Structure 1
Amino acid sequence: MNLLARFEEVAESLFTGMFKKNNNSRLQPVELAKELVRIMQKNKQVSISQVYVPNVYRVFLHSSDWSPFANFGDAFLIELSKYLYAEGKKSGFTFLSKPSIELHSDDTVKPHEMFIEVDFDDSIEVFWEDDDEYEEESQESSESTDWRNQTNIFQGELPYDLRNSYEQSRKIRYVLEIIQGPDSGKTFPLEEENIHIGRHGQCEIVLQDPEVSRRHLKLSGGGEDWVIDDLGSTNGTWLNGQRIAKQKIGLGDRVEIGQTVFILRHR
């Protein structure tokens, strides 16, 4: 039995028929588990000897999806944490602690959808007893991997701030530089043709600014031909002092969203 099947079996025993297979009327536990793994993998950060993944996950669900999960309190969150930890261990990832998972009700999220914010926090402690069955599945899945896949929980002094973007090994010609706001001083390499900027973990560039929307804007294009597209944000997007909906942006142009100001520049 693989890790996901093991989790699904445990979830079914917890919820005793509340969630039925092939029932699309409500968000399924396995959908939440799979999305957590995807977000974990998407937000991994690489150092010389370790591959770090977030250890804090804040999941925002519509109240109709949140209520069934909330009724079971910590029991379900612990199973999610065990599953995510086992998947991370199988892939050789390093956590700063066992994963902390929070579920929040938010009716700005559509039913059957979810937003997940992530963080790296070495100050938290998460306690649960090791699960022998998850452990066996994780070990069996990683038997053929090399020494790099033996990392678990990092202990010791952090080599750098994991909240900052890490330096990419390949050459990037352009970067986005934050010059004002909570993330001031950070730079982000522009590697993809479509880059979403906002507060939640599914964005390519995640900001800590509370006045920035979860999905605030999209930056698309490449080279010196970039277009900025406001995604219906609450506080708007301002280009060189003018509020815009969609506009071409050039190197050195000043973009303001919430408390944050950034520019595009050569690396």
Structure 2
Amino acid sequence: MSFPAISVPEVETSSDAPPGLNSDQQRAVDALPEGCALLVVQRGPNAGARFLLDDDRTTAGRQPSSDIFLDDVTVSRKHAEFVRDGQRFRVRDVGSLNGTYVNRDRVDDVLLTNGDEVQIGKYRLTFHSFRAR
């Protein structure tokens, strides 16, 4: 029995593009202003959504007034916050029930690096920061 050959289209990526970004998301990362960062929802409700981190403090949670509103029961009303630390960002758990994870490790407060996966409830977001060109 033989199967017909199929062709797989090439995916457009730059050599330093983090895995999991499509070309639109990569353009958004490339266009980040200095001192800003971007969170891209990779898994969970609203996959593909992007959240710009451009304030000194950005809140995330199930409470509608959160800067990043994550509407799922696995997310606490006040779950985490992203805090600018010089030219970098940290994520801080603010007493959530299910915890905040970075690269699958539960954290209370950690400095983020490019490509880190932040998990808040069902949501898995990748962190991308401004890079000098």
Aligned-pair CA distance for 1:209: 2.2
The residue correspondences of 1:39-78 to structure 2 (distance < 5 A) are: none
* 1:239 is aligned to 2:102: yes
Between the aligned partners of 2:46 and 2:85, the Cα distance in structure 1 is 23
Q: Which has the larger radius of gyration?
A: 1
Assess if the C-alpha contact under 8 Å between 1:175 and 1:187 holds in 2: yes
- Structure 2: which 5+ runs fail to align? 1-27
Aligned-pair CA distance for 1:174: 2.3
* 1:263 is aligned to 2:126: yes
After the TM superposition, list the runs of 4 or more consecutive aligned residues in structure 1 that deviate by more than 6 angstroms: none
Aligned-pair CA distance for 1:264: 1.3
Aligned-pair CA distance for 1:224: 4.9
Between the aligned partners of 1:191 and 1:223, the Cα distance in structure 2 is 12
Between the aligned partners of 2:86 and 2:45, the Cα distance in structure 1 is 27
Q: TM-score, normalised by structure 1?
A: 0.34
SS in structure 2 opposite 1:265?
strand
Which of 80, 88, 102 pairs up with 1:225? 88
* 1:208 is aligned to 2:81: no
Assess if the C-alpha contact under 8 Å between 1:224 and 1:251 holds in 2: no
Between the aligned partners of 1:250 and 1:195, the Cα distance in structure 2 is 17
| C-alpha distance 241-224 of structure 1, shift in aligned 2 (>3 A) | farther
* 1:193 is aligned to 2:56: yes
| Equivalent position of 2:8 in the other structure | none
| C-alpha distance 193-226 of structure 1, shift in aligned 2 (>3 A) | same
Between the aligned partners of 1:186 and 1:210, the Cα distance in structure 2 is 18
2:47 maps to a residue whose letter is: S
| Equivalent position of 1:176 in the other structure | 39
| C-alpha distance 203-243 of structure 1, shift in aligned 2 (>3 A) | same
Aligned-pair CA distance for 1:179: 0.5
Aligned-pair CA distance for 1:266: 4.4
Between the aligned partners of 1:233 and 1:204, the Cα distance in structure 2 is 16
| C-alpha distance 262-223 of structure 1, shift in aligned 2 (>3 A) | farther
Aligned-pair CA distance for 1:200: 1.3
Aligned-pair CA distance for 1:222: 5.6
| Equivalent position of 2:3 in the other structure | none
| C-alpha distance 184-224 of structure 1, shift in aligned 2 (>3 A) | farther
Aligned-pair CA distance for 1:223: 6.9
Aligned-pair CA distance for 1:230: 0.2
Q: Give the helix-richer structure, 1 or 2.
A: 1
Aligned-pair CA distance for 1:203: 1.0
Between the aligned partners of 1:198 and 1:253, the Cα distance in structure 2 is 19
Q: TM-score, normalised by structure 2?
A: 0.67
Between the aligned partners of 1:258 and 1:246, the Cα distance in structure 2 is 16
| Equivalent position of 1:252 in the other structure | 115
1:233 maps to a residue whose letter is: S
